[in-house]
Copies of this chain bind each other. A is one copy, B any other.
Amino acid sequence: MGEGVDVVDDARRVIANPDIDVVVELIGGYGIARELVLAAIEQGKHVVTANKALLAVHGNEIFRAASQRGVMVAFEAAVAGGVPIIKALREGLTANRIEWIAGIINGTTNFILSEMRERKLAFDVVLAEAQRLGYAEADPTFDIEGIDAAHKITILSAIAFGVPVQFDKCHVEGIRQLQAEDIRYAEQLGYRIKLLGIARRRERSDASPEGFELRVHPTLIPASRLIASVEGAMNAVLVKGDAVGHTMYYGKGAGAEPTASAVVADLVDVARMFTSDPGNRVPHLAFQAESLSDLPVLPIDAVQTAYYLRLRVADRPGVLADVTRILADGEISIDAALQREPGEGENQTDIILLTHRTIERRIVAAIERIEALETVLSRVVRIRLEELQ
């Protein structure tokens, strides 16, 4: 410790110290961290935190308390490590109506997916290796089930659309079920599979009310998109604004130094705005309190996206005709199809279909009918697909 720095073993003494203006919370989790952050705000202290879980779940309470007390809560390190994505969204793109955000915002899962693709390995094999290398924790649930990414996209969605954080409404699917063969088929069709956090504004339509989609799941994206080339443990957030078009922000999403980079930048921001009128500061959720929106999170069955479907079928004439008839009945049109040549003496094969954009409830209904076909031999594998245009 540097000279003149007091080290105490009880965080409450930091909060009780009237000489301290800013508290940095790097504990993580929802428990003691929440208590300390609220206590610091109560004492009129500004807070800098890297705690995405806390903000995604208790952000509304924390930001409300901070606004009432006239203090800042800065949280650049909460999403994409040292990449200044919060600053870009809240300040740099302030002139834009944000249409959507799609982010690779969990390094562990991106590392696993990159390895599965490049080295043609199964999920379990790569996970074990990631754990050995320190890219995945001993209990990797939080990362591989998509929860960490869901915390981050929840925070980004709130800033993008000026809505409260609503983690409980985020649809979350992880990568544990992902099969190596789907990564391979996707590649043959010109796509890569990434775990994306997606927040997308939807206008009212015949099929769906106004609202926004908030979801984390494995996603096929065209291999030609820049974000498809983001490999290993790196993070990238792609943002579509109405004026600026597509912008992307890329870098290390975790680690002590990238996190410290963001925390120090927040401290400088807080110091800069320290003496300013609270009304002149950047609002926590980018929008002034009176401009916050009650735009609802759409339920997952109202989500609009395209789909990759893999069917294990009997190698018999008429199967594809039956399947495509069911899709046509459901008003789902097909963009591409691929049929694996059955091996010598094999009486089964795989059909892979890419659909155009449709509504989730239609694909769910169609899959139910497809799975009822006698010639369809197992559960249909379904992965969402985004063109990101």
When distances are taken between beta carbons in the complex, the residues of chain B under 8 Å from A250 are: 226, 246-250
A91:B84 contact, CB within 8 angstroms? yes
* Option from B230, B261, B277 in Cβ contact (under 8 Å) with A96: B261
Interface residue A95 (Cβ < 8 Å from any Cβ of B): yes
User: Are the CB atoms of B268 and A94 closer together than 8 Å?
Assistant: yes
A272 within 8 A of B: yes
| Closest beta carbon of chain B to A160's beta carbon, Å | 15
A288 CB, min distance to chain B CBs, angstroms: 12
* Cα separation A269 to B76 with both chains bound (whole Å): 18
Interface segment among A142-150, A252-260, A315-323: the answer is A252-260
Contact status B245-A257, CB under 8 Å: yes
Q: A82-B241, A84-B92 are in contact. List 10 more A-B contacts (CB 8 A).
A: A93-B261, A95-B260, A95-B268, A96-B261, A226-B229, A226-B230, A244-B258, A245-B252, A273-B280, A274-B280
**A244 neighbours in B (Cβ, 8 Å):** 81-83, 251-252, 257-258, 261-262
Pair A265/B226 contact, Cβ less than 8 Å: no
Contact B229 A243 (CB under 8 A): no
A87 to B282 CA separation, bound complex (whole angstroms): 14
Contact partner of A92 (CB less than 8 A), chosen from B247, B265, B282, is B265
Name the residue on B nearest A282 (C-beta).
B272
CA distance A45 to B328 in the complex (A): 63
Q: A382 near B: Cβ within 8 Å?
A: no
* A202 part of interface (Cβ distance < 8 Å): no
Knowing A87-B87, A251-B248, say if A261 contacts B275 (CB, 8 Å): no
**Does residue A281 face the partner (Cβ distance < 8 Å to B)?**
yes
A73 to B241, CA, bound (A): 25
Name the residue in A92, A230, A245, A261 with the highest tally of chain B Cβ atoms < 10 Å from its Cβ: A92
A-B contact pairs, 21 of them (CB 8 A): A82-B247, A84-B88, A84-B91, A84-B92, A87-B91, A95-B260, A95-B263, A96-B261, A226-B226, A241-B261, A243-B261, A244-B261, A245-B251, A245-B255, A245-B257, A246-B251, A247-B251, A248-B250, A249-B249, A250-B250, A275-B277
Q: In whole angstroms, what is the CA distance A263 to B244 when docked?
A: 11
Task: Give A84's nearest chain B residue, CB to CB.
Answer: B92
Q: How many angstroms between the C-alpha atoms of A81 and B257 in the bound complex? A: 29
Tell whether A205 is near chain B: CB-to-CB under 8 Å.
Answer: no
Residues of B within 8 Å of A246, CB to CB, are 250-252
Cβ-based interface call for A291 (8 A): no
| A264 at the B interface (CB under 8 A) | yes
A276: interface (CB < 8 Å): yes
Of all A-B residue pairs in the complex, the 3 with the closest CB atoms, nearest first, are A84-B92, A95-B264, A82-B244
- Establish whether residues B226 and A243, one from each chain, have CB atoms under 8 Å apart when the complex forms: no
Bound CA span A261–B265, Å: 23
Complex CA distance for A265 and B91, rounded to whole angstroms: 6
**Given A226-B226, A226-B250, A251-B244, is A87 in contact with B83 using a C-beta cutoff of 8 Å?**
no
* Complex: A237 Cα to B250 Cα, angstroms: 10
Please, how many angstroms separate the alpha-carbon atoms of A334 and B221 in the complex? 39
Q: Report the bound CA distance from A230 to B246 in whole Å.
A: 13
Q: Write the nearest CB–CB distance from A102 to chain B, whole angstroms.
A: 13
Q: Which residues of B contact A243 (CB under 8 A)?
A: 82, 257-258, 260-261
Contact of A93 among B84, B245, B255 (CB under 8 A): B84
Chain A 211-249 interface 0/1 with B at a Cβ cutoff of 8 Å (1 = within): 000000000000000100110000000000101111111
**Which chain B residue shows the least CB distance to A255?**
B245
Q: How far is the CB of A268 from chain B (nearest CB, A)?
A: 5
Cα A277 to Cα B274 in complex, Å, equals 11
